[in-house]
Amino acid sequence: MINRELIRIKIVQLTYAYYQNGNKNMDSAEKELLFSLSKAYHLYNYLLLLIIAVTKEARHQVEVLTTRAKREGTEPPSDKFAYNKFAMQLEENKMLQEFVETQKQTWDDDVEFIRRLYGQITQSDIYRDYMENQDDSYETDREVWRQLYKALVVENDDLSSLLEDKSLYWNDDKEVVDTFVLKTIKRFDPKNKKNQELLPEYKDEEDKDFARRLFRATIMNADQYQRYMSDASRNWDFSRLAYMDVVIMQIAIAEMLTFPAIPISVTINEFVDLAKIYSTPKSGSYINGMLDSIARYLIKEGTLLKPMGENPRKVKMEQKRAGKRWTAQNNEGQPEEPKTDNPE
């Protein structure tokens, strides 16, 4: 489940913290990185448990209303949602039960939130359409939860605040983890019953190794990577770069030089996207130009042994700027100076 997008996010956060907090112990910093990634996997399991918690609340409400209906001699409520086939299979899932037993994490202390969420579900068109649908197949039961999750869980401010209170590690994880929860819902098969496999923490050992190597390369070669940045921005004061911009470019350079199989354009695009999230409004376009210049220089010097390839962002910017090119080693053009704060 932990993919490279999430790994890059965590390394940006942990590298920034490494310098800001004065933590200079590489081994303990690496342990913190791996722990932070494991917490993302905990969140994945915890969000799957949310489906079960809501289903249990639905069951409780149906039982209360059924008792009242018997007493008053009225029509009992439908228990279709309360006994949704997909949710019941998820409830019996061995891997999820193992998670609860080992991590002791449940939604039992968040009854009010679960009730509010269930109320939002019952008021939704998705729920109403499902309850009116005569199709009682497993596929329909699974699909309604996929739709409900997308509509009411993915963008849920109350849930985001609640998760942030539970773990600081979950602040920026949910958006990525949500995609894996949706993928898991879609791949559930009734034939697998309680043995349905959830996504593993890591797809393979290679991704865990990617996290370790990228983090170590970023920290151990910081001086060299920052020299590359300084050369690429030598027409003005390098110290004026926002500190987060330096961190993001430092990691991007580490990835370009450490992992020859990853195309340069992929690395640049990934870290430009992270700059838009974690740094200043203009950082994305500036970092795009800087990394493009640095990559071309490293290829020319023989330090970077992979082709440049097309960088779609660079092409678009070049067209916009009427062909102006940025280089690290000559005066054919320099990146526009960003308006940023001084690094601390």
Q: Quick one: what percent of the chain has pLDDT higher than 90?
A: 78
Ramachandran region of residue 334, left (φ > 0), alpha (ψ -120 to 50) or beta? beta
CB 275 within 8 A of CB 241: no
Report which listed range, 151-160, 225-234, 275-284, 330-339, is most confident: 151-160
Q: Place 343 in a pLDDT band, splitting at 50, 70 and 90.
A: very low
DSSP 341: P
Question: From the CB of residue 299, how many other CB atoms can be counted at a distance below 10 Å?
Answer: 16
* Angle in degrees, 0-180, between the axes of helices 283-301 and 312-320, rounded to the nearest 10: 110
User: Does an H or E element contain 317, and which?
Assistant: helix 312-320
Q: What is the pLDDT of residues 124-181, one digit of tens each?
A: 999 999 999 999 999 999 999 999 999 999 999 999 999 999 998 998 899 999 999 9
pLDDT digits (tens, 9 = 90+) for 214-234: 999 999 999 999 999 988 887
Quote the tokens at residue 93: 């899932």
Kindly list the structural domains of the chain, giving each domain's residue range(s) and its CATH number in brackets, ordered by start. Answer: 39-195 (no CATH), 221-320 (1.10.940.10)
Is the pLDDT at 265 greater than 50? The verdict is: yes
